[in-house]
Amino acid sequence: MEFLIGGLAATSACIFTHPLEVLKIRLQLQGELKSKGKHPIVYKNSLHAAYLIAKHEGMFALQKGLVTGLWVQLIMNGSRLGFYDFWSSRGYDTNKKTGEKMIYRSVFIAGTGGVIGHYLSNPFYLIKTHLQSESAKAIAVGYQHHYKGTWNALKDTFRKHGLNGLFRGGVAVVPRAFVASSSQLVSFLYVKDWLNKTKYFSKKPVLTVFLGSMIGGISISVMTAPFDLILIRLYNQGVDKSGKGTLYSGYFDCIKKIYTTEGFSAFYKGVGPMYFRLGPHTVLCLMFWEVYKKIYHKYCD
C-alpha cells in the first residue's frame, strides 16, 4: 500500500509539471560538447523555449512523453516513497531512547529507496528523455530519436539492444537517484518536524507541509543538477549497432568531455527550469503524499 500511495501522489503531480521537464531537457541538451559562444542559442530561456516549442510543434508538444512520464513516476516515486514510509513507520530512522530522527539513517533509507525506484523505472525514464528531446528540425538540440510512441520505443530498443539497451545509463542512475531522493525527502521531513514543534505551525498542517516541500524542492534542484545533466546526456546520445554510446563511453568519460569542452558551468545548464519543474513537482507530490496517507489511515486502518 505504501508503494501505491507514493505512486499515486507522484503521478498526480506529474500531470501538472510534465511540460517543465520538457523545457529542462531541451536546455540541458543545447550546445552539447560545444564551447561556450561557439554554438547557436536556440532556446534563450525557459519562456523562450516554451514559445518556440508551441510555435513549431504545437501546444501539446509541451506534454511530449507524458504517458511514459506517468509510468516513471508510478514506479520510481512509488518505490522510493513507499520504501521510506515502510521503514520510517517501523522506527528504523528514529532513536528509540529520545524519539528523534537520526539523519544518517534517514539519508540512507531515502537514498536507497531512490536508487531502487529509479533503476526499476530506467527503461521508461530512458524513453521519456528520447521522446521529450525529439523536436522540429528548426529547433532541434541533441541527438534526435524518432519513435511513434512509448510502446513502439520500448519494443524497438529491446529488439535492437535487448535488456542492456533498456537499462542503458543504469550506472549514472545511482548517484543521481541517491542524492535526489535523500536531499528532497530528508530536508522536507526535517523542516516539517521542526515547524511542527512551534505553536504557530503545529495548528497549520497544510502550511507546514507546503513550506517543508518548498525547501525540499530547492534542495533537490541545487544538489541534483550536475548528476541530472550527466544522466540526460548519457540517456540521449546515439548508439552504434552494439549499443555503445557514440559520444560518451561511460560516466566518467561524460564528465571529462563536458568539463573540457563546455566548462564547469555546463553542469548547471537548465538549473533554472529544473527548479521550476522540481519545485512545483516536489510541493505537489509531497502534499498529495501527505493527503493520501491521511485518507488511507482514516478509512483503512
Indicate which CATH number applies to the domain containing 26. 1.50.40.10
Q: How far is residue 212 from each of residues 8, 232, 250, 279, measured CA to CA in Å?
A: 20, 28, 36, 11
239 to 27, 87, 119, 143, 145: CA distances (angstroms): 21, 40, 20, 10, 11
Q: Scan for cell 521537464, then name that residue.
A: 21
Q: How far is residue 121 CA from its own chain's centroid?
A: 11
Whether the CB-CB separation of 286 and 209 falls below 8 Å is answered with yes
Q: Find cell 563511453 and name the residue.
A: 249
* pLDDT for the residue numbered 301: 66
For the segment 59-112, what is each residue's pLDDT rounded down to a tens digit?
Answer: 999 999 999 999 999 999 999 998 988 888 888 888 878 877 788 888 999 999
Q: Which of 96, 92, 95 has the alpha carbon at shortest distance from 84? A: 92
Closest CA to 237 of 167, 169, 190: 169
From first CA to last CA, the distance across the chain in angstroms is 12
Report pLDDT for 51. 95
Residue 3 in contact with residue 78, Cβ under 8 Å?
yes
Closest by CA to 176, choosing from 122, 215, 230, is 230
Beta bridge partners of 101: 94
Question: Distance (Å, rounded) from C-alpha 179 to C-alpha 194?
Answer: 22
Grid cell at residue 13: 503531480
How many domains in the chain? Answer: 1
Query: Per residue in 65-79, pLDDT tens?
Result: 999 999 999 999 999
Which residues constitute the domain of residue 67?
A: 2-300
pLDDT at 90: 87
Residue with cell 523555449: 49
| Residue ranges in the chain modelled with pLDDT below 70 | 301
By percentage, how much of the chain surpasses pLDDT 90?
45
- Residue 94 β-bridge partners: 101
The answer to whether 72 and 124 are in contact (CB under 8 A) is yes
